[in-house]
Amino acid sequence: MNELILRTKCYLTTQVGTQVTRKSTKNEWENYGEILRRVDEAKQWAIGDWLVDGKRHYGDGLYKRAAEITGLGSQALENYAWLARLFEISTRVETLGWTHHREVASIKQIAAKKNGKLYLSDKPDHNKIAELLDQAEKHKWSVVQLRDMVRVYKRRQDEEIRLANEPEKYPVILADPAWEYDFAQSSTRKIDNQYLPTSLSDMQRLKPPSADNCVMFMWATNPKLREAFELIDAWGFTYKTNMAWVKDKIGMGYYARQKHELVLIATKGNIQLPAENKRPESVFCAARAKHSEKPEIIYELIEQMYPEYKKYEMFARSKRDGWDAWGDEIS
């Protein structure tokens, strides 16, 4: 007889196929497809755990013997075992597949050398791995979406290392932090689809390349004011004042539909004040563009205030002439 693999009220799956035992409903059919997918990925976990245990029996000959038993290639077997060792069963997210876990498994910790220089270590960053898996589960990211998020996060790690080790510093900084929101799941609320939302702790660690005497202009949405001030403090700046961008269209909002966004101004050291005739009004009007894109006028105002200083933009969408910049969307 064929060995039983799966049975539900309307399906019976054995080694030779799936038998329909009674007419299925649409939901039953979809649910069984999900079961089959999860069983297939559970097999990858199961083989990995089996290999981890087999190490004590076969030592260096483990993968050769396992390949003979399973018919799988040595490279696939090594991948299964590597992932099983990295994720203890208690840390695996049941609603996500083996391939989701594989996508985040290569994330490493940033460490510091004795001279204070940062580098990417060989140690897995279990906290960030768990955080990205949590976001993938919460926002129902596909494997491809999660892969894109991992790629963006690694680019940010590279920038964190570069900024910490980079000798060039700037007296004028413009920052547009990638705030992490917790909006309801709907097509109009999925800000996460536009960019990788970044936790406050990650942004606090991403120090700007600021000179000893520096002025910073930071975009801050109204729901994120508290986090914005915490970020200003973490980056070593002192809040001074703000400007407001009044938009031509109303946006989202739970208590009040948002039609303005703030630019917080903060300083460190003893940066020179702009000349009185170069100080702009605190309110400026400009049209809304696509999601999170900021108006051209903010660059013009900063250039008017500090024409003589080098300028740097963090979390930029594109590079402006005369500025240095870094951002997820800059190639």
- Among the candidates 140, 167, 194, a domain finishes at 167
Please give the C-alpha separations between residue 169 and each of 164, 197, 208, 225, 228, in angstroms, as whole numbers: 10, 26, 9, 26, 22
pLDDT band at 185; cut points 50, 70, 90:
very low
Pairwise CA distance, residues 156 & 241, whole Å = 29
- Do both 206 and 291 map to the same domain? yes
| CA–CA distance, 193 with 198 (Å, rounded to integer) | 13
Whether residues 207 and 145 fall in one domain? no
203: left (phi over 0), alpha (psi -120 to 50) or beta: alpha
The percent of residues above 70 in pLDDT, for the chain, comes to 92
Stretch 271-295: mean pLDDT: 88
In a domain, 331, yes or no: no
Assessment of whether the complete model's pTM goes beyond 0.85: no
pLDDT (0 to 100) of residue 292: 67
Residue 164 identity (one-letter amino acid): A
| Residue 93 within any structural domain of the chain | no
Write out the residue range of the structural domain in which residue 81 sits: 1-86
Average pLDDT over residues 139-143: 91
Same domain, 299 and 176: yes
- Give yes or no: residues 78 and 6 share one domain: yes
Give me the residues paired with residue 118 across strands: 112
pLDDT of residue 317: 84
pLDDT, tens digit (0-9, with 9 covering 90-100), for 51-104? 999 998 999 999 999 999 999 999 999 999 999 999 999 999 989 999 999 999
156-167 pLDDT, tens digit per residue, is 899 889 888 877
Collect all residues with Cβ–Cβ distance below 8 Å to 80 and sequence separation of at least 6. Answer: 44, 45, 47, 48, 51
Dihedral class, residue 16 (left if φ above 0, else alpha if ψ from -120 to 50, else beta)? alpha
Backbone CA torsion sign across 232, 182, 109, 319: negative
- Cα angle 49-54-59, degrees, rounded to a multiple of 5: 130
Do 75 and 131 belong to one domain?
no
| Domain membership flag for residue 41 | yes
d(CA 253, CA 255): 6
Q: Are residues 296 and 205 in the same domain?
A: yes
Examine the domain organization and report whether 238 and 248 are in the same domain. yes
Q: Which residues contact 202 (CB under 8 A, 6 or more apart)?
A: 156
Q: Compute the distance between CA of residue 225 and CA of residue 3 in angstroms, rounded to an integer.
A: 61
Domain edge (last residue) among 19, 51, 86: 86
Both 182 and 284 in one domain: the answer is yes
Q: Is the pLDDT of residue 238 over 90?
A: yes
Q: Is residue 282 part of a domain?
A: yes
Most confident stretch, 5-14, 231-240, 292-301: 231-240
Q: Alpha-carbon distance 198 to 306, whole Å?
A: 29
Q: Could you say which of 167, 182, 214 is where a domain stops?
A: 167
Read off the pLDDT band of 194 (50, 70, 90). very low
Which pLDDT score, from 0 to 100, does residue 186 have?
44
In a domain, 235, yes or no: yes
69 & 202 share domain: no
Structure confidence at residue 4 (pLDDT): 61
Residue 61 and residue 10 in one domain: yes
Residue 47 CA to residue 82 CA, distance in Å, equals: 11
Instruction: Mark whether 66 and 182 lie in a shared domain.
Output: no
Whether residue 192 sits in one domain with residue 134:
no
Asked if the structure places residue 91 within a domain, the reply is no
- Tell me the per-residue pLDDT of 165-180, one tens digit each, with 9 for 90 and over: 877 899 999 999 988 7
Number of domains in the chain: 3
Has residue 154 been placed in a domain? yes
Confidence (pLDDT) at 266: 98
92 found inside a domain? no
Spell out the residues 6+ positions from residue 287 whose beta carbon is closer than 8 angstroms to its own.
247, 248, 249, 295
